[in-house]
Structure 1
Amino acid sequence: MTSDTTARMLRLLSLLQTRREWPGLDLAERLGVTVRTVRRDIDRLRELGYPVDSARGHGGGYRLASGTDLPPLLLDDEEAVAVAVALRTAAGGLTGIEETALRASAKLEQVLPRRLRGRVTALQGAVAGITWEDRGPRADPALLASLAVACRDHEIIGFDYTTRDGATASRRVEPCHLLASGSLWYLLAHDTARDDWRVYRLDRISHPTPTGRRVPPRQVPGDDPAAFVAQRLSAAPTRHRAVATVQASADHVRAHTRGLGTRIRPAGDGTTCLVDASDDSLTRIAQTLAALPVDYTLDADPDVVRHLRATADRALRAAS
């Protein structure tokens, strides 16, 4: 096999790894060869153990299928560095993935070119994460992976979902995006029964069941999945209500706090703003309010007020 053929096959393999399916004509155009040459190169990849599926006909194409073994992956320099650093800093909100990530990181670092190893070592030495004992709900990495595939393939999926009040019901959705917020993972999907968009917490999803039915991709309202999910989460009903009127502009509060996003809304002439600190957790409400940079007045449920007074009393006793 000549060096040109080898280089072309590596390029072909790299293309197959970037998209689910490639028409033969598109591959030939990308590689600057004929469709017949693409077929020959595909046969060579199969001889080397790469499971490449093909479909005949006008709409036919090629895709790298799953096999019994994981074939080598081709990563460019930037991809290799990104993966190595990501593995070292994995994986907030996922159960039991830290040890697996470290094993994968060790394997990758063994084969990194010397020119990249120094960059990765420097990044890993400078980047660190803080691990808290109480991490809150954790998602299953296998569930995350299966939902990611369903999002990619636009495949309808069914699962059982446990609501905030502990009730469990079946759901059937068109998955769209996975988003992480702090230690929590969310699935943005279009519910087929309700004909509406819904946001599901991964730690409340169980028994995912692929249906094999694929649908055209849906356009997320506003074209920004993260903003849409943030808006839905801020508007979702909570167990405890607490809204602060803060004596500062929304921009000032936003610049001096983290994670409040759409919970901050301008009020009046713009010199004050409203911060919705409502939550299912009284402790989180107290933490949100404690982070506000200036004075505020509070409109809250009685149980919130009692909790804040008890917290303040403990702090005063400790200080005295």
Structure 2
Amino acid sequence: MATTSARTLRLLSMLGAGRTWSGPELCDRLGVSPRTLRRDVEVLREMGYAVDPVKGIGGGYRLGPGGALPPVVLDEDQVVAVVVALQTASTALRGIEESAQRALAALRHVMPRRLRTDADLPIIPVVNQWEFPAEPIEAALVREVGAAVRRRQVLRLDDDGDPLRVEPHHLVVWAARWYLVAFDLWAARWRVLRLDRITVHPPTGAGFAERPLPDGGPVEFVRHTADRGDRPAPWPCLGHVELALPAAVVAEFAPGGAVVEAVSTTSCRLTMGAWSWSGLAGLYLTFGAEMTHVEPAELREAFGAAHARLARAVVVGGSS
């Protein structure tokens, strides 16, 4: 049986979840008798916590408003969740960067060394101009790859079915999507891999030394890499156009869920979607570049309609 202090902390952690617990539930979770549970509740009340009784069949307890601020008691999965949330918070909210860093520092300071190692994920969050959310990614995958990045261990993985052996260097969150900046040992080149497209094999245990990163560092490398494993987002309207712009330029400013493919050094093919064909045409127009090979026909028709509306706007706007 847990010691009284450890058991009381666990009880406080359970009550701090914000739900109402029945007496039998708490007794079962803590492995104590109803009498011991009542005694532990009294200990918390003496410490200043507002533990309210709940009437009904079996009775119960909940942590009421007011009183002392409970200490945070987290298991390993909760620690990883908090660390990832704090590290990526600046991609969703502005003005909290300093607070998030101070919270991270405080969390790491009180964390046991073993848990601190597991939770200290090397993540670089980056805000894109157009955030089109992606599907949530598995926390276990982030934790596994992040551990390999932190420990500088070679990874064996499949990227959409293609086997790779890479040196994982950085995790970057860009346009609400997770990317791994890695050096491909077989192809002898730097790669940007979508984390949700890979399957990781058991650890190799092989270490690697630091390499000079691509010019500009990992963030700029992700921003300007067109071939980073993206797929078109599932929009109602999907089209593609060749733009008279380099792929690296379009890759930086394309919305999340778009796919950029280099055609030449000065042009690229951009595939993306939108809520309507006119909306999609508008997105393409924001690049301000010459366009060819416009597909499908619905998108060409939307450009024609937009041309007519813009022509009328010019005439009306110029009339006195």
Pick the TM interval, shorter chain.
Answer: 0.3 to 0.5
TM-score of the aligned structures, taking structure 1 as reference length: 0.44
Q: Which structure has the bigger radius of gyration?
A: 2
State the TM-score, normalized to the length of structure 2. 0.44
